[in-house]
Amino acid sequence: MSAIDDFMDTVSDQIDTANDLNPLIKFGLSIIFTLIGYYIVKYSIVRPWGRVVMSTDTAWDDKLHRPIANRAYFFLFVGAAQLTALWVSDQAEFNDSIAPYFSAIYILTATSIASVSIKHIIPMVMDRFTEKSSVTVSGSNPLITFTLRFAIWFGGLYLALTEVGVELFGVLASLAVFSLIIGLAIQQTLGNIVNSFLLAIDRPFEIGDRIEVDGTWGSVVGTGILSTKVLDRDERLVVIPNNTLVQSTIINHARGGGDGMARRISIVIDVGVDYRENTEHVKLTMLNIARECEYIIDEPKPQVLMVELGDFAKIYRLFAWCKDYSDEQLARDWLLRNIDAKFSSEGINIPYPTSVELSESVYTQAAATKQRAATRQMVKERQDLADEREAAKASLEKINEKLKDVNLDKKAKSELEDEARRLETVINMFDGA
């Protein structure tokens, strides 16, 4: 026990000696100790941790390493600053007055570490447990991340302000009326902000997707809390307010497809050929062209169907599928060029409307006689229909008069009502004719 007592006495004497040093010397020694602590943390904790992180296959821990390391250094320097203030200053009241502010800084630093951890970990967790399909937008829901980070920061700010004697809820209550006035003034802006959260929940598109909104067609290059930026086909940046997106029909060309191929797109080409061409010959030629195209995938298989018997041609429709919608125009150009060339080599004729001048000799006397006879027959039939209709109306009036007889028995009344319904049907049919 004597050795321990001697050691404790020696330590106590050294502490008293250090406390009696000049404040400038104390400050200089504090800086030296802080630098020593910085290098110890850097080379014994941060650097080894970084090597372990870089050796893993996951990407989220690589992104998380640097932000947490920087905050750890900040935590170290703040702690060193507080210890320096306690050591250099001999005034207890001063030390007690600054302690709550350092506590608030510690709370905010811990809050920042928790927030940045959520920023990188939540997307990884969401992606792992989200089922991927052709119509599911990849990537985690940013609203979940935002909500969790907001809750973390709200709690951290509440605790930090409480440490320094500020009641957060009292400040919010005093700002309620002012916030209402500001809210009415920026109603449209607030609508864009709220709708940005709705878009984050529904996720109709992502950056890089090709979308179409109210005639604007282009690729999404940025999403913000107020608007979405689209680069159109003329390479103009179109800024679309989030309010417009929520209220409009959005066509996402990158999220259709099927069989797990979100960017797959169908290509439909109609080609008209002469009526004298053989159907099987035309179909086989178009199928072989589609099968040879490098942009067309094997599954689903290309198909050719006859879809119309037009005025001048038989219309055949080619159905083919492109793996990526960005190749659609190239595939369509290739198919049309090769259909044109192949039809020429195969002797398949693509007709076009022509005008033919008809002379009076085209119609013979016999044909004219038949037309006049048909006209007379139709006039006679229409007259017969009109006479029959008038007769039916007269008969219906007589039946209605008989139905007014109160002495009519039940059976006779039922027969007359059936006959009246039949005559009404006949009259209505003639009216339609």
Average pLDDT over residues 340-365: 69
- What pLDDT is attached to residue 138? 41
Task: List beta partners, residue 222.
Answer: 229
Distance CA 422, CA 433 (A): 17
- What pLDDT is attached to residue 407? 72
Average pLDDT over residues 52-72: 77
CATH class of 265-346: alpha beta
Domain boundaries of the chain, sorted by first residue: 2-183, 184-252, 265-346, 392-433
Q: Residues 132, 257: contact at Cβ < 8 Å?
A: no
Residue 375: CB atoms within 10 Å: 10
Distance CA 340, CA 335 (A): 9
Is the model more confident about 185 or about 22? 22
Q: What is the dihedral of CA 212, 217, 223, 227, to 10 degrees?
A: -90
Say if residue 363's pLDDT is above 50.
Answer: no
Lowest mean pLDDT among 34-38, 47-51, 183-187, 421-425: 183-187
Lowest mean pLDDT among 35-49, 127-141, 288-302: 127-141
Given the structure tokens 């050294």, which residue do they identify?
Answer: 14
Amino acid at 411: K
Mapped onto helix, strand or coil, the DSSP state of residue 241 is strand
Distance CA 47, CA 53 (A): 10
Band (pLDDT 50/70/90 cuts) for residue 254 is confident
Instruction: Tell me which CATH code domain 184-252 carries.
Output: 2.30.30.60
Comparing CA positions, the residue from 117, 30, 31 lying closest to residue 67 is 117
pTM: 0.43
Is the model more confident about 365 or about 188? 188
Distance CA 84, CA 69 (A): 22
- What pLDDT is attached to residue 385? 67
* Cα 346 versus chain centre, distance: 46
Band (pLDDT 50/70/90 cuts) for residue 5 is low
E-strand stretches of 168-263: 210-213, 216-223, 227-232, 237-241, 250-252
* Planar angle of CA 229, 231, 237, nearest 5 degrees: 65
Is the model more confident about 270 or about 393? 270
- What pLDDT is attached to residue 133? 45
- What pLDDT is attached to residue 271? 92
Band (pLDDT 50/70/90 cuts) for residue 335 is very high
Report the percentage of the chain scoring pLDDT > 90.
Answer: 6
Lowest mean pLDDT among 138-142, 336-340, 416-420: 138-142
* 184-252 and 265-346 have identical folds: no
Average pLDDT over residues 150-174: 76
Question: Residue 120 has which token pair?
Answer: 């990188």
Average pLDDT over residues 203-228: 82
- What pLDDT is attached to residue 433? 45
The pair phi, psi for residue 319, each rounded to 5°, is -110, 120
- What pLDDT is attached to residue 39? 86
- What pLDDT is attached to residue 52? 80
Band (pLDDT 50/70/90 cuts) for residue 322 is confident
- What pLDDT is attached to residue 208? 79
Angle between helices 92-129 and 142-163 (to 10 degrees): 170
Task: List beta partners, residue 431.
Answer: none
Question: Residue 309 has which token pair?
Answer: 């018997």
308, HSE (Cβ side, Cα atoms, 13 Å):
11
